[in-house]
Structure 1
Amino acid sequence: MTSPELIDLDTWPRRETFEHYRHRVPCTYAITVEIDVSAFAAALRTSSRKTYVAQIWAIATVVNRFREFRMALTDTGEAASWPVVHPAFTVFNAERETFAAVWAPYDPDFGRFHERAAELLATAASATTMFPQGDLPPNAFDVSSLPWTSFTGFTLQIDGGTSHLLPIFTLGRYVERDGRTLLPVAVQIHHAAADGFHTARLLSDLEQLLADASWVGA
């Protein structure tokens, strides 16, 4: 497995911000938005590809564009970033009413990623343990879905979460409004890793990627 790369503190513009929110005022924040996924949903209706897998791939694609969302701490607590992060995602076992958490290596090719992740979904849907693949890798970030309900706000309360620098995404059920299909997306961020500007840019990139959904059928 690759190791996180140390960040040069002498040239890093966010050094002071990182140290402030890591040590002096450690905190996380959450934001929930409704993203227009009309084109994305339409593309999937004429495709055999799975919606959840496509959502996960789109999120992983934009997350990997920005160092702020690939942040890590070394064993000695130094600021670092992963070269690539991989999505870990929840899978519901309807019979047991429990879920499993699995992960798939990020692949910039959606077709290859879909093949592997769809197989994982099918297998994990009958899993009887929470982590059927064993421990998640340290460079995995979390995605979960609540397809049973929509929401306008979602916040996680994480005990000891001030050492968790990777983003956490929660997706809700689609909302149909004014002829558009909207997806509730909640993201939990460590303030040492990213400011509001970075999170807004991430969400804007995600909406743009889902608006140009030609990759769904690629």
Structure 2
Amino acid sequence: MMNFEKRRDRFELFESMESPFLNLTFRLEVPDFRPYCKEQDLPVFHFFLYYLFKALMNVENFRYRIYDGEVIQIDRLIPSYTILNEENIFNFTRFEFSDDVREFIRRSLAAKDESMKASKLIHSATDVSARDIKDYVFITSLPWLDFTSIQHPVGRFKSADIPSIAWGKFSTLADGRLSMPFSVQAHHGFVDGYHIHLLAEEINKVLAEAIK
């Protein structure tokens, strides 16, 4: 928490505001990992999700939260993403992170299957304690849209401190890299534009290492 203490006065400024959010959308360019996924028989969305969470763990500012009036640093992240069922009605997923990419994907696919089959809304965080919700990062994928901005709702437990991340339609660049609209919403007391830049760099790094 030593790094946080250096910015506590910045945190207190933004925490005093009605809306402490930083919400930034930009074009994320990464190595095209889709051929690797095809070769290894790995689903593209879940593969990217894994390395996004690896990157989030590596940028400390995305692991700061507010609990019981104090700033804490969490040491695990719970993936939670939205899915559409066969009737195009959304639901939520939730599962435990695994350091092993294939185990992570297995859990993610199982969570997707559970949510696809559920007729009612599940994993909406209404059954999660005020402390446990702090381990979450909320994920949305909009693969049909080349969007330029997005605004996420704020849940209970004053969840301005829980990051929300979204990405959209993939585009292939002239140099063979992959581009997508990418949005990060986070508490500005913890995360600046610089840290979003660091996250983008870390995503590139972990993906490049994975597919080399």
Q: TM-score range by the shorter chain?
A: 0.7 to 0.9
Q: Deviations over 1:25-63 (max 9, x none)?
A: 742121122223443122112222111111211111111
Partner SS, residue 180 of structure 2? strand
Q: CA deviation at 1:168?
A: 0.5
AA paired with 1:104? F
Q: For 1:1-218, what aligned pairs fall within 5 Å after superposition?
A: 7=1, 12-24=5-17, 26-75=19-68, 77-94=69-86, 96-131=87-122, 135=127, 137-138=132-133, 139-156=135-152, 158=154, 163-178=159-174, 179-214=176-211
Give distance in 2, aligned partners of 1:162 and 1:132.
18
| 2:106 alignment partner, SS class | helix
Whether the 8 Å CA contact 1:43–1:213 is kept in 2: the answer is no
CA 1:40 to 1:203, structure 2 compared with 1: closer, same or farther past 3 Å? same
SS state at 1:107 partner: coil
Aligned partners of 2:167 and 2:181 also within 8 Å: yes
Q: Residues of 1 paired with 2:88 and 2:95: CA distance? A: 23
Q: TM-score, normalised by structure 1?
A: 0.83
Show structure 1 runs of 5+ residues with no match: 1-6
8 Å CA contact 1:40, 1:212 repeated in 2: no
Contact 1:41 1:181 survives alignment (8 Å): no
TM-score w.r.t. the length of structure 2 is 0.85
Tell me the distance in 2 between the aligned counterparts of 1:24 and 1:148: 34
- Distance change in 2, residues 1:97/1:196 (3 Å): same
Contiguous gaps of at least 5 residues in structure 2: none
In structure 1, give the amino acid aligned to 2:105. H
| Separation in 2, partners of 1:204, 1:89 | 22
Measure how far apart 1:210 and its partner are. Answer: 2.3
Tell me how many residue pairs correspond in the alignment.
206
